[in-house]
Amino acid sequence: MFSDVKNLEPTAPIPLMKMSRAAVVNEQQDVAYRIGHSTVLIKLGNQWILTDPMFSRRASPLQWVGPKRFSDLPIQIAQLPAIDVVVISHNHYDHLDKASILALAPKVGRFLVPEKVGAILIKWGVEATKVHPMNWWDETDVSSTHFVFTPTQHFSGRSLTDQNETLWGSWVILAPTHHVFFSGDSGYFAGFKQIGDRFGPFDLAFMEDGQYSKDWPVIHMFPEQMIQATQDLRAKVVMPIHNSTFRLANHPWNEPLEKAWAISQQKGVTMVAPEFGQRYVIGGTFEQQEWWEGEKQ
């Protein structure tokens, strides 16, 4: 509330590409679309996968107060195709959003969730047969795609009375066509190398990059740590997530991408940062535009 940091929020709309339902439904390639924050729509083979769906205006239990979305959504839930799998990393409000889950539920085949998060979804009204809770290192198949729930260095809780009562983690997603990793939220830790050694290399890693602070250095990664974690995972390409959507930390809104881009070039790591709604073909070439630099001060 009393920050002296400039540029905490964009003063003009950030670049956004509206997504067409027809184009998405007729997609023939393996692709990824950043929807916002840590929400990514991924097509692998014949399956659509959605990560940490957050479509609400605010990352808050109340929609009249709390961190507000910087920009519009590139697509609404009603326009999405049928979703084969939703993966949830943990139960914080910016990753597990009740309104989004309930709106999505009729078109979702399976929710893969951390242990004890399933009870939350079922309490909200999601069919129990759709909900699959998992512990760290648990593995399951949905059609031809193999999912592994892997550790992170984070925490959970939606109130002061339920701290760390539910599990948190990341996701290894191994499809016949491509292998991807979704970090959820995490501080930098040795687990990334363990995951990389066991399941890497990955064609693409969606890695948390944003909402970091020196006041909570062990639960979120700084950009240089995110790039190191990408190397630990043996990921061929990294797409930073968890940024440019909500103000949850005391850093300029575009600093995570700005720093990650510079560090990735120094370290020889291939980074892609599409605009929200921009189509990225997994394994394809991508001409990166530094769209976040529009408000550099």
Assess contact for 137 and 148: CB atoms under 8 A: yes
Q: Give the pLDDT band of residue 1 (cuts 50, 70, 90).
A: low
* pTM listed for this prediction: 0.96
| pLDDT tens figures, 198-220 | 999 999 999 999 999 999 999 99
Cis peptide before 67 (omega within 30 of 0): no
Cis peptide before 201 (omega within 30 of 0): yes
Given this model, what pLDDT does residue 24 score?
96
Domain assignments of the chain as residue spans, ordered by start: 21-283
Rounded to whole angstroms, what are the CA distances from 203 to 20, 129, 179? 26, 31, 5
| pLDDT tens figures, 220-273 | 999 999 999 999 999 999 999 999 999 999 999 999 999 999 999 999 999 999
Encoding tokens for residue 277? Answer: 């709604």
Task: Tell me if the domain spanning 21-283 has CATH number 1.10.3720.10.
Answer: no
Assess contact for 259 and 10: CB atoms under 8 A: no
Q: Which amino acid is at 141?
A: D
The label of the residue with tokens 């064609």 reads: 203
Distance between CA 169 and CA 153 in Å, rounded?
8
